[in-house]
Amino acid sequence: MSKLSLHRPRALERPDSLQWDAPSHALERWADMPQAAEADDPNTISIYDVIGQDYWSGGGFTAKRMAAALRAVGASDVTVNINSPGGDMFEGLAIYNLLAEHPGAVNVRVMGLAASAASVIAMAGDMIEMGLGSFLMIHNAWGVVVGNQNDMREAADVFAQFDSAMADIYVHRSGASKKDVEKWMDAETFMSAGDAIEKGLATGTFAAPAGKGETKASADLSARRRLDAILAKQGMPRTERRKLLREATGMRDAAGSDTPRAVIDPALVASLISTLRS
């Protein structure tokens, strides 16, 4: 696919009341995915984290990080490996645009999961290859809004604009009608490699390399991801989940402002934290 044919959505302004998050179902599936090994090729960029800055973990993949990686690659062709549950839709759109503007060919490889904002990033590939057993997930814009009725209306307007921008990207890539794409997004659709190829959102498959052997660090990371996914599924906002996870792991508070605490099952959380600490 020629870079000239990629859809280029305009930038959108971020409301102050909006806090980004990844969908709970995507977090849950991502937590169960094996960790992919980092590539040795200097022209390969790995996105193996949530999209956007994650102050809790000191990680997250941002547009700034992508811009720096592309500067290092220069005008050469680049491979982008993705295993991400998504996250900040503003950052995802910015990363998509950076890849769309890259002068060299962009080969995207879905190593495990490309969900939400990460699925938008994947659409910037000249080739979009999916490992057997990997998934692509598309849905409507997702986030948490804190504020009064005016803040809610402003965020809803921005979400609607994002839904339209994402739908246009998927439509342009797949050749499907916007009505069909909107149905996929409304249904929060997970697609296997075969499904994505059939729908025109992927171009082929590849034999994914084996994941990393499990170490204590990777087991701890997997446990934290599972706990994060369970808490998200129960409706706890991201900032509250981060606070709880910091308390569970003894990490220093580095998050932003708090949000109202959601109603959850304290016994379940206590049991999960106990397992995490052991």
Are 15 and 75 contained in the same domain?
yes
Domain assignment of residue 211, yes or no: no
The single residue listed with the structure tokens 């000239």 is 4
Are 198 and 226 contained in the same domain?
no
**CA–CA gap between residue 121 and residue 152 (Å, rounded):** 27
User: For residue range 261-271, what is the model confidence (pLDDT) as tens digits?
Assistant: 334 444 555 56
Are 97 and 151 contained in the same domain?
yes
For the chain, which ranges sit under pLDDT 70? 1-5, 7-8, 10-13, 15, 17, 35-39, 55-58, 208-235, 237-239, 241-278
* Per-residue three-class SS string for 98-166: HHHHCCCCEEEEEEEEEECHHHHHHCCCCEEEEECCCEEEECCCCEEECCCHHHHHHHHHHHHHHHHHH
Domain assignment of residue 119, yes or no: yes
Domain assignment of residue 122, yes or no: yes
- Indicate if 174 belongs to the active site: no
Domain assignment of residue 14, yes or no: yes
Domain count within the chain: 2
Are 10 and 125 contained in the same domain?
yes
Domain assignment of residue 83, yes or no: yes
Domain assignment of residue 253, yes or no: yes
Are 161 and 261 contained in the same domain?
no
The pLDDT, as a whole number, for residue 264 is 42
Instruction: Examine the fold and report which residue of 167, 183, 206 is the final residue of a domain before the chain moves on.
Output: 206
Domain region containing 151: 3-206
Are 29 and 50 contained in the same domain?
yes
Are 238 and 201 contained in the same domain?
no
Are 233 and 131 contained in the same domain?
no
Are 113 and 244 contained in the same domain?
no
The single residue listed with the structure tokens 């998927």 is 170
The pLDDT, as a whole number, for residue 79 is 97
- The partner residues of 105 in beta bridges, in order of sequence, read none
Pairing of strands 127-131, 143-145: unpaired
Q: What is the CATH number of the domain that holds 36?
A: 3.90.226.10
Which residue is catalytic, options 25, 102, 139, 172?
Answer: 139
**CA–CA gap between residue 143 and residue 122 (Å, rounded):** 20
Are 244 and 195 contained in the same domain?
no
Which residue is catalytic, options 116, 119, 134, 174?
Answer: 116
pTM, full prediction? 0.75
Instruction: Examine the fold and report which residue of 152, 178, 206 is the final residue of a domain before the chain moves on.
Output: 206
Domain assignment of residue 72, yes or no: yes
Are 64 and 147 contained in the same domain?
yes
Domain assignment of residue 96, yes or no: yes
Are 156 and 79 contained in the same domain?
yes
- Residue 90 phi/psi, 5-degree rounding, is -65, -45
- Indicate if 116 belongs to the active site: yes
Instruction: Examine the fold and report which residue of 183, 206, 229 is the final residue of a domain before the chain moves on.
Output: 206
